[in-house]
Structure 1
């Protein structure tokens, strides 16, 4: 009782035991909807209830798409161009046509001048009117021959650069119609100058 004070027995720390990880909740956290509910939610009328509002929305969407395409054709942004103008092959065709002086690009202005001249001289000088009409036909034939020669050379370069199997259909008309357009009115806008052949 009056003896030495004994030390308390040493405490042993319990080893740390890792708790098992809690399982993560599975599922989507909500009940699956009934089939009838899902079908009812997905149903849309074939004919909209307000046709005028739907037509206005469709016109606005189409106008925005056309504006985007027109802007892309003015700037050369191929991502928003119409499908018929996209791709490296069509870009090469456009650049090749734009780099060349074509007889067809002067056809519309000259045809207008020739027709006015023919109407003016039809009564007083029928010989001049006939000669004007003949010159117009000669110019049309020369323009067609020039377009054919242009396409022959262009097709050889296209096959050499891209391979014949990579050429889409309709390239002939694409090139010829562009060659017959007045240069400032061409869309997509020309990105090369005359004489600046594409590589």
Structure 2
């Protein structure tokens, strides 16, 4: 009788172990410290100062590339604080969508300087001085001043109607200074063309 019970216990014990093994994970649960250690990636510190400087330059170059791409897209996260916000964006788009007299002030000044440096004959030089410096230069200065005042007043007036409750501090001066710059040198870059059409996206590189 005892021999039969012992034999049954021996026969049933492997089955129980196999059931437990098939139903469970079949291995001990790893410790949290060991699991975190396997997830961590090995960090290799620079061995020399030259290698550390090279890694720093690579990181800075990647950051500059991301910033340039963000500026080209018009992402305000990469703008200066003075260029952020819907009011400032409206002022930029308003100026960029128009051909304003003041934006030709710098090219006109360069032309005048070139004309004064060219060694013309005396009679031609006197005519240039009279027609350009005595007449055209004052007319251009008055036009630029009048345009700056009109741009600042107009942008502030429209922004007041379009953005009630928003801070408009310095918005007129901001728009007037942008209108004074050459279009290709404006920063942030224009997002609209003259006439109001959006700037076309650059073609993908091949």
Do they superpose with TM above 0.5? yes
Choose the corresponding residue for 1:73, options 71, 74, 88: 71
Q: Mark the CA change 1:89 to 1:133 in structure 2 (over 3 Å): closer, same or farther.
A: same
Aligned partner of 2:86 in structure 1 is 88
Aligned partner of 1:136 in structure 2 is 137
Structure 1 residues 27-176: aligned runs within 5 Å: 67-120=65-118, 124=122, 125-134=125-134, 135-163=136-164, 165-176=165-176
Give the superposition deviation at 1:137.
2.7
Aligned partner of 2:6 in structure 1 is none
Q: Distance in 2 between matches of 1:133 and 1:71?
A: 43
Q: Distance in 2 between matches of 1:102 and 1:114?
A: 20
Give the superposition deviation at 1:172.
2.4
**RMSD after superposition:** 3.1
- Structure 1 gap segments, 5+ residues each: 1-51
Give the superposition deviation at 1:140.
1.9
Contact map agreement 1:118 1:133 (CA 8 A) in 2: no
SS of residue paired to 2:118: helix
Q: Distance in 1 between matches of 2:60 and 2:176?
A: 29
Question: Would you tell me which structure has more helix in proportion to its own residues?
Answer: 2
